[in-house]
Amino acid sequence: EAQVTQNPRYLITVTGKKLTVTCSQNMNHEYMSWYRQDPGLGLRQIYYSMNVEVTDKGDVPEGYKVSRKEKRNFPLILESPSPNQTSLYFCASSLTAQRADTQYFGPGTRLTVL
């Protein structure tokens, strides 16, 4: 089944404790992206990757890192999480970076930083 998977689905952590949220897609997609969803703000893009070893900042990159060493994986790294990073995170992918390509979303990761 074609899908985007994220792990973990739920995470409660404490301020300053490094964490990684994994994202993987099995559709051989070139483009991948991370979003965060906050009430009243919709989804905002954190980082995106147009292909392997190519990453770029979205609208709200502060406090986050990403890497794209393999085509299928696009982990989101929080080196020193803070409470304002408590949010619902979504990974997405599309076949290419072409404007017409539909993005497919993972199930989400709910992160709470205490």
Partner 1 sequence: AQSVAQPEDQVNVAEGNPLTVKCTYSVSGNPYLFWYVQYPNRGLQFLLKYITGDNLVKGSYGFEAEFNKSQTSFHLKKPSALVSDSALYFCAVRDSTGANNLFFGTGTRLTVIP
Residues at the site binding partner 1, with contacts judged by CB under 8 A: 4, 31, 33, 35, 40-45, 48, 50, 56, 58, 90, 92, 94, 96-108
Taking the least distance from each CB to partner 1, the nearer of 91 and 113 is 91
DSSP letter for each residue of 28-68: --SEEEEEEEETTTEEEEEEEEEETTEEEE-S--TT-EE--
C-alpha count within 13 angstroms, C-beta hemisphere, residue 40: 0
CB neighbour class for 2 (10 Å; exposed up to 12, middle 13-18, buried from 19): exposed
Taking the least distance from each CB to partner 1, the nearer of 33 and 85 is 33
CB of 85 to partner 1, least distance (A): 19
Which three-class secondary structure state does DSSP give residue 85? helix
CB of 18 to partner 1, least distance (A): 25
CB of 19 to partner 1, least distance (A): 20
Taking the least distance from each CB to partner 1, the nearer of 14 and 41 is 41
Backbone φ and ψ for 48, nearest 5 degrees, come out as -140, 165
CB of 77 to partner 1, least distance (A): 20
Taking the least distance from each CB to partner 1, the nearer of 14 and 73 is 73
